[in-house]
Chains A and B, each alone.
Chain A
């Protein structure tokens, strides 16, 4: 259903353009953050960093607020009832929490440290899932449709501003890099807590080997320390961006065919190729959204566990 909405929005965009349809430009515009020279809210620079609120920052706040409100509301309501058995939404929430704690955290981190690391990993899991899932809903594209057909706001309006850029905060490499930095810190903290600060760094390389091996081993281990969060960053962001690019390039087929052979060819291509493939990719994305949140949580748990249970 939302595929059609995107399609209609793209049609509106092409009408507004009144020129040749540039697929690459449209796709990048839909995936990227809003441009730095026109953020949603202008804020001054603090220590050389532009604090202006762009669209992805807004999406981060929306996701955080939504999660906070929904989870707090569910838990409060559960605590107020006098039965111990949760019902409705709380039931599902509890199932997910128990799954993350017992299937992801405990096998990797171990019984002793479950309660130390479960809160962080639960936060990761829920936050990434919510950010991914909200990116799948074309909220602002529907807003653009409304604007085009119903509201008719001016060029400087907030609605036009908010149309610049994508809605998936986790498709932004800066966001995932920040999340992976938390993982990076968590690994060091976990190792230091379990073995002491000095022992954690000694644990990086196995001891008791001939000294020439260490010349090779120590740089490799230090590189590995940075590669793991880097891979986490790239995996999440690239997966989220990739899905959107695939979906949008399929939708662009309609307009490319329209340019070549007229409206009838475009509609034909849309019905025969775009619609089934785009629905398929959308369904695949529903799975990817879940899997990527799971993978990020699982890998963080594994890395934290590796710092705690050092075995060589």
Chain B
């Protein structure tokens, strides 16, 4: 059972995490590029506003990966 968890569930989980994080970051980048293209003079403000939620998103993804890693270690 632990072998099954290690060799199938964790890679699948990691893949799901990456899909989620990539979708989120992709939306951020798209929105940022679009709004900067519309209003180049506000580029600084837009970057500043995007920074914080971007890091929060990254934090969630990292947390999920840490827990996947914990499952891997506990399973040994």
Query: Which residues on the A side are within 8 Å of B65 (C-beta)?
Result: 238, 242
Contact across chains for A295 and B66 when beta carbons are under 8 A apart: no
Which residue of B51, B55, B56, B59 is within 8 Å of A234 (Cβ)?
B59
B52 within 8 A of A: yes
Q: Using a CB-CB cutoff of 8 Å, which residues 233-250 of chain A contact chain B?
A: 234-235, 238-239, 242
B51 touches A231 (CB 8 A): no
Interface of A is mostly: helix
A239 to B61, alpha carbons, bound, how many Å?
11
- Chain A residue numbers with a CB within 8 Å of B16 are none
Q: Are B52 and A235 in contact (CB under 8 A)?
A: no
**Is B58 touching A235 in the complex (CB atoms < 8 A)?**
yes
Is A136 on the interface with B (CB-CB < 8 A)? no
Task: Report B-chain residues with C-beta under 8 Å of the C-beta of A107.
Answer: 48
Question: When chains A and B are docked, how far (Å) is the Cα of A295 from the Cα of B62?
Answer: 14
User: With a CB–CB cut-off of 8 A, which chain A residues contact B59?
Assistant: 231-232, 234-235
Q: What's the dominant secondary structure at chain B's contact region?
A: helix
**Cβ contacts under 8 Å, B62 to chain A:** 234-235, 238-239, 242
- In the bound complex, CA of A66 to CA of B63 (Å): 31
Q: Provide the residues of chain A in CB contact with B55, threshold 8 Å.
A: 235, 295, 298-299
- A302 on the interface (CB 8 Å rule)? yes
For B56, list chain A residues within 8 Å (CB): 231
Across-interface contacts of A234 in B (CB, < 8 A): 59, 62-63, 66
User: How distant is A283 from chain B, measured CB to nearest CB, in Å?
Assistant: 19
Closest to A28 in B: B73
Q: How far is the CA of A234 from the CA of B64 in the complex (A)?
A: 10
Which residues of A are found within 8 Å of B52, using beta-carbon distances?
298-299, 302
Chain B neighbourhood of A232, CB < 8 A: 59
A242 vs B58: C-alpha distance in the bound complex, in angstroms?
13
Complex contact A298–B63 (CB within 8 A): no
Contacting A at CB under 8 A, from B40-76, are 48, 51-52, 55-56, 58-60, 62-63, 65-66
A232 to B58, CA, bound (A): 11
Contact with B along A274-308 (1 / 0, CB 8 A): 00000000000000000000010011001000000
Known: A231-B60, A234-B63, A298-B55. 6 other contacts (CB 8 A): A232-B59, A234-B59, A238-B63, A239-B62, A298-B51, A298-B52
Which residue numbers of B lie inside 8 Å of A, CB to CB? 48, 51-52, 55-56, 58-60, 62-63, 65-66
Give 17 A-B contacts (CB < 8 Å), ordered by A residue. Answer: A107-B48, A231-B60, A231-B63, A232-B59, A234-B59, A234-B62, A235-B59, A235-B63, A238-B62, A238-B63, A238-B66, A242-B62, A298-B51, A298-B52, A299-B52, A299-B55, A302-B52
